[in-house]
Amino acid sequence: MKAQPVKRALIHSETDLAHELGYVGDWLETHGYELVRAFRPESVENESFPDADLLINLGSLSSAVEGFTTNATEKEIAAVTDWIAAGKPYLGICFGAQVMARALGGNVERQPAVHRGFETVEQPLQLGPWIRWHEDFITDPGSADIVSETEDAIMIFRSGNAWGVQPHLELTPDTLRRLAQKTGVDPAESTQLVSELANNSTAAKNSTFALLDHIIKGQS
């Protein structure tokens, strides 16, 4: 029997913040992906990404809001624009989703405070609860189709093989704890969030697997 070619997932992230794959990593391992890492900002100096079967673009403290972006973020938006235009599978989580919205001509708006909490979404089943942790809100996905939204922001949207997901479907209680410590969140707030995620960890992981089965496995 001829061996199946190994699928390569390119993981694009910061070097030491919001870079852990958590439940998404569990799904990738289950489905036999080889992981390749690319780190901001050097990864997009040429406004392009290395080739891969799937690009997963993770969170960041950088902003995708017009007027707040750095030169590196503008290059990342350009690189994502080209990746999506080529029809390659893309999953943007949080900042990665905001970059996708900008790449497709949409809009991301800065809010007066960081939103940290839980969100259950419809896609088309009820999924989550996942952590929402973002200061910039997607208000227009551009040419993408909205799959799920709340009163204040768009949660999931799609354009062909490209998907943007605002909630952190990758976060586990442990990765959430480390993210909170790294960003200096008040321990009282972070402890409560970690405890709530721990109480709902099985549902969160199962929901992550269900969504990825739908949007990635369904393309293979």
**Residues 188-214 pLDDT 10s:** 999 999 999 999 999 999 999 999 999
C-alpha torsion angle, residues 46, 52, 54, 60 (rounded to 10): -30
Decide if pLDDT at 220 tops 50: no
- Determine the pLDDT at residue 46: 87
For the cut 60, the answer to whether the pLDDT of residue 3 exceeds it is: no
Share of the chain above pLDDT 90, in %: 91
Question: Is pLDDT at 124 greater than 90 in this prediction?
Answer: no
At residue 219, does pLDDT exceed 90? no
**With contact defined as beta carbons under 8 Å apart, do 90 and 104 qualify?**
no
Going by C-beta distance under 8 Å and a sequence separation of 6 or more, which residues neighbour residue 83?
A: 49, 55, 90, 162
Cβ–Cβ < 8 Å for 77, 99: yes
Q: What are phi and psi of 12, to 5 degrees?
A: -105, 125
Longest dimension (CA), the chain: 58
End-to-end alpha carbon distance in the chain: 19
Mean pLDDT of the residues in the chain: 95
d(CA 128, CA 130): 5
| Secondary structure letter of residue 117 according to DSSP | E
For residue 5, the model assigns a pLDDT of 72
Pairing relationship of beta strands 107-122 and 126-140 according to DSSP bridges: antiparallel
**Domain 7-111+135-171+207-219: assigned CATH number:** 3.40.50.880
Selection from 171, 181, 43, 176 nearest residue 99 by Cα = 43
Task: Determine the pLDDT at residue 134.
Answer: 97
Give per-residue pLDDT as tens, 129-180.
Answer: 999 999 999 999 999 999 999 999 999 999 999 999 999 999 999 999 999 9
Could you tell me the pLDDT band of residue 123, with boundaries at 50, 70 and 90?
A: confident
Task: Convert the pLDDT of each residue in 49-73 to its tens digit.
Answer: 999 999 999 999 999 999 999 999 9
Rounded CA separation 111/51 (Å): 35
Domain ranges of the chain: 7-111+135-171+207-219
pLDDT(107) > 90: yes
Can you tell me the distance from the alpha carbon of 69 to that of 108, in angstroms, rounded to the nearest whole number? 11
